[in-house]
Amino acid sequence: MAGYQMKRTARIALAPSVLLLIVGMIVPLATTLWLSFRFYNFMNPTLGGFAGLSNYEFFLTDPAFLQAIINTLLLVGGVLAITVIGGILLGLLFDQPMWGRGIARLLMIAPFFVMPTVSALVWKNMLMHPGYGIFAWIAMKLGLPPVEWLSNYPLLSIILIVAWQWLPFATLIFLTALQSLDHEQQEAARMDGAGPFDRFIYIILPHLGRAITVVILIETIFILAIFAEIFVTTSGGPGYASTNLPYLIYVQALMQFDVGAASAGAIIAVVLANIVAIFAIRLAGRNLTA
Amino acid sequence: MRKSIIAFGAALALGGAVSSASAEEIVIATVNNGDMIIMQKLSKEFEDQTGIKLRWVVLEENTLRERLAADIATKAGQYDVISVNSYQTQLWAKMGWLTKLDDFSASYDYDDFIPATRQSLSVDGVMYGAPFYGESLITFYRKDLFEKAGITMPEKPTLDDLAGFAEKITDRENGINGICLRGKPGWGENTPLITTFVSALGGEWFDMEWKPRLTSEPWRQAMDWYLDVMKKAGPVGAATNGYNENRVLFSSGKCGMWIDATVTAGYLLDPKESQVSDTTGFAPFPVTDKNPQAAGWSGAWALAIPASVTDNAAAAKKFIEWATSKEYARLVGEREGWLLAPSGTRKSTYALPEYQNVAEPFADKVLAAISAVNPTKPTVNEVPYTGAGFIDIAEFQALGTTIGQNIAAALSGSKTADEALQESQAYAERTMERAGYYKK
Amino acid sequence: MVRAATTGLGWLVALLLFFPILWTVLTSFKTEVEAIAFPPAFWPEGWTLENYFQVQERSEYFSHFLNSVIISLGSTILGMMVAIPAAWSMAFQPGRGTRHVLMWMLSTKMMPAVGALVPIFLIFKSVGLLDNLVGITLILLIGNLPIMVWMLYTYFREIPSDILEAARMDGATTLKELVYVLLPMSLPGVASTMLLNIILAWNESFWTLSLTAVKAAPLTAFIASYSSPQGLFWAKLSAASTLAILPILVVGWISQKQLVRGLTFGAVK
């Protein structure tokens, strides 16, 4: 068959996806951009008209803005650190022969199937609650005062909840990658007298390179947008201690009804997310599409 | 045998009747609090009577408020009946977003409503929200703990009285906190409580030029009192405790005192709900001599219809009339127990002997607390706004949310009281300026 | 010896990770008073079903469940129908721009959903898609499409293009080539992509909550009515949570092998 015709078929095959994403992205983005230059408040219909850059100024000078950026990055960084390191360790562990490995693995992956709202509610009410929670009970058993997780360590608490959800995912990917590791090569290294640590650094870790990239890329996409966990547990507080960028935009849009400022915030978030995306995708792109 | 055939036939007929009439269907969005859940349960009665089918969206309070605001502001019309509070009713009625509820039948008896409650849901004398229950603030306390400590609750306690009592009855070893107060941030959580303390101390949110007064002396005093008493006698994790959390704490015997909504009184005396049902006492909201009229807040949960609802408006009205009628109060009393009958709305409920029988310990006090508040003049100084516990401007929701966050931060210790108030002041100035109340 | 140690450690970790779910299920069988008892009681004393009855009485669980099934299956199946041709095209007929198109697709996922909420809400309102199964399915489809295309692309690339060419020589049309050659060969990958998307769609709790009311409300909305109500609620919350997560947990467990086999993302191996 002619190569030309093949190319045409390929383009036609690609078109629906591209079109859907263009429509699904450009339309909201353009509307948001337009709104970001307007005075528009749900609860105050008398406001209106062209706002110039004042929405951007208002959002950027919000006392919570800088903190929200830092929190967003801390959230992504914290969860990635826990899930990548923890995931590799668990991957190594579950790669070992053990009795009942299948069932243990089923239990281990379960958190990944739990809805974010449910896991946030369960952690908040039944684990971290300083009065009735399991953690308070453990603290009491150890003779310690109960920790007020959500008021004193709000961001850390959210990182823990999110990491709990994503650790199984990371573990599964690393486990899959480890199982494809060449065992003869490992054996040979052992013969050469390489200790477990050396084998990990020189054989296993390089082998996991791509898997790590995949985990980082996918998790970053989802953790940049963390919302439900914050909404349910801390409402971004106390103060702004656990407000991330999506939550700040949400507060502007649906608690203050300032659609203009929220849209400006969304545009700023898109720009920032794309900066992160360029880094992440540069890193991943070379690995994944080369 | 014959009986069962008749029953079967009746069931068939009934089923037929229901399904043929179920063409009419209305969507009701409500908050997931106890009274609304009872309403949902009892509404099967209404469905059977009228053939109107009810679909329920029951949501947690914050989620509900956001959803309703988005719906009503964009006139999306997803809900036919919504549950709103006094603040939303005032604001939305003034914008023309709610339907007038002034044409119910004669037996509905508008004059039966407690004036303060009705007033908080009316604009220019027209009712836009039908009160489902009305509330103010009251002090709940544990009579047994007071007795043990050798103290008595005065007729009209002051803030200082309560602080002293709280310290005396605190027994953390045994899990008893002297006092529980809302700490969870939100314009419907800690903010109205602090606002009421500030009013009691003679303060206000804004002066006549709409300049925020959040760093004024009464705010400092209120914060100092609140932070001090919570530190010495409050529960752990207080900064995440809202109304619901405190209700659980108090009813499980972990609080010596609790200042909160009057509507809880019945639940606290209900042994099914409360482990302190026979030891709970009631006292007024603590006053100071600076502003004796700041005796609580005026709030209500009400049912309303968005103005964008047209097709189902008649059915929606029918439902609201039913759910806020005298007969409904009686139905709740008979089915669910008289302690749970809607409080703070109808005078006739308070006149019922069955209600008086069980509600005697608190009924008068609740009624007094609701009637004592004057929402049109809640403060000592003259102010450009009305509302007790809230301010009737669109920006209050934003202000209340952020200032509540700052107060919570002070309570959890991550900010000092001064920082919290200063940041709140700066935020309020910024918000009011942006909303066009004044130029810099 | 070593095996005993790894077994012990492995099970310890697994049980720790599973504990919050186990605790939720156990709590759902307790009475409300038992549920907040402190120190906590591990086993429910009476194994009461009361909470499940109450939840059932209050909410239309089945209708929420059905909506969840419809939107997660719907968005996944429709998504696959669009994503498979796209991934095929990129994997076997790559052009100079292919890599950029793929990365561009992924980057659309980086846009925070909350920023687009107001525009989407307004658009949906004007075209009557609010509280509509089609609308919410469409949104989830667009949201997950980049991940689908990317996952499928990485699997397809593992398949030697000679095989496809052989099929083409035999005169198979492109569609036949796709259906009879490519899909069977990449079945683990396709299954895994579908499973992952069903899970993601089932658990999506921003759009599903913001754009639905009654008719299209899935289980994420069902659970929202049990978060911090008044009075004692731990046991009822646990029962509702169990009902919301159980279906997807069972699906996840049953299909675990397929899911894992496919999670290699092609490149991981």
Per-residue confidence (pLDDT) for residue A288, from 0 to 100 = 56
pTM for this entry: 0.89
Largest CA distance in chain A: 80
Using alpha carbons, select from C57, C107, B165, B20 the residue that is nearest to residue A271: C107
- Are residues A118 and C106, on separate chains, in Cβ contact within 8 Å? no
Mean pLDDT of B104-115: 93
Q: Long-range contacts: B278-281, Cβ < 8 Å, 24+?
A: B279/B142, B279/B143, B279/B144, B279/B145, B280/B140, B280/B141, B280/B142, B280/B143, B281/B140, B281/B141, B281/B142, B281/B143, B281/B146, B281/B153, B281/B361
* pLDDT at residue A287, as a whole number: 60
- CA dihedral sign of residues B409, B413, B414, B420: positive
**What Å distances lie between residue B202 and A126, A134, B287, C228, CA to CA?**
41, 43, 10, 34
Q: What is the 3-state secondary structure (H, E, C) of chain A?
A: CCHHHHHHHHHHHHHHHHHHHHHHHHHHHHHHHHHCCECCECCCCCCCCECCCHHHHHHHCCCCHHHHHHHHHHHHHHHHHHHHHHHHHHHHHHHCCCCCHHHHHHHHHHHHHCCHHHHHHHHHHHHCCCCCCHHHHHHHHCCCCCCCHHHHCHHHHHHHHHHHHHHHHHHHHHHHHHHCCCHHHHHHHHHCCCCHHHHHHHHHHHHCHHHHHHHHHHHHHHHCCCCHHHHHHCCCCCCCCCCCHHHHHHHHHHHCCEHHHHHHHHHHHHHHHHHHHHHHHHHHHHHHHC
- The CA distance from C113 to C139, in Å, is 10
Give every CB contact of residue B214 below 8 A, 6+ residues apart in sequence: B205, B403, B421, B424, B425, B428
From the list C7, C103, C117, the residue facing A253 with the nearest CB is: C117
Strand order in the sheet with B280-284: B177-180, B255-261, B137-142, B280-284
Mean pLDDT for the stretch of residues B67-82 = 91
Given a contact cutoff of 8 angstroms between Cβ atoms, the answer to whether C151 and C265 are in contact is yes
Q: Which of C112, C174, C261 sits opposite A269 (nearest CB)?
A: C112
Look at residue A77 and tell me whether its pLDDT is greater than 90: yes
pLDDT in tens, C47-105: 999 999 988 888 889 999 999 999 999 999 999 999 999 998 888 888 878 878 888 88
**What residues in A contact C108, CB-CB < 8 Å?**
21, 24-25
* pLDDT classification of C37: cutoffs 50, 70, 90: confident
| Interchain proximity B185–A42, CB inside 8 Å | no
pLDDT beyond 70 at C269: no
pLDDT given for residue B317 in this prediction = 95
Output the pLDDT for position A65: 92
- Please report the sign of the dihedral spanned by the C-alpha atoms of residue B43, residue B44, residue B50, residue B54: positive
Q: Which residues pair with B122 in a beta bridge?
A: B127
Strand locations in B38-167, DSSP E? 53-59, 81-85, 122-123, 126-127, 130-135, 137-142
pLDDT of residue A281: 67
Nearest one of C243, C252, C253 to C62, comparing CA atoms: C243
- Contacting C residues, span 162-181, partner chain A, CB-CB under 8 Å: 168, 174
Q: Is the bond preceding residue C39 a cis peptide, omega within 30 degrees?
A: yes
Asked if the Cβ–Cβ distance from B236 to A145 is below 8 Å, we say yes
Strands B25-31 and B81-85: what pairing? parallel
Examine the pLDDT at B21 and tell me if it is beyond 70. Answer: no
- pLDDT band at residue C33 under the 50/70/90 scheme: confident
pLDDT of residue A253: 85
For A28-75, the pLDDT digits (tens) are 889 999 999 998 888 877 778 888 888 999 999 988 899 999 999 999
**Interstrand relation of B53-59 and B25-31 (parallel, antiparallel or unpaired):** parallel
Three-class SS of residue B162? helix
Is residue C95 helix, strand or coil? coil
Query: Contact, B307 vs B98, CB < 8 A?
Result: yes
Tens digit of pLDDT for each residue in B214-247?
999 999 999 999 999 999 999 988 888 888 889 9
Tens of pLDDT along A249-289? 988 888 788 889 999 999 998 888 878 777 776 666 566 55
pLDDT of residue C258: 81
CB contact under 8 A, B59 and C231: no
Helices (H), B139-206: 143-149, 159-169, 190-200
Residues of C in contact with A172 (CB under 8 A): 259-260, 263
CB contact under 8 A, B236 and A146: yes
Q: Which of B116, B152, B205 is nearest to B402 (CA)?
A: B205
What is the band of B9 on the pLDDT scale with cuts at 50, 70, 90?
Answer: very low
* Residue B273 at interface with chain C, using a CB cutoff of 8 Å: yes
A134 vs chain C: nearest CA distance in angstroms?
Answer: 7
Cβ count within 10 A of residue B73? 18
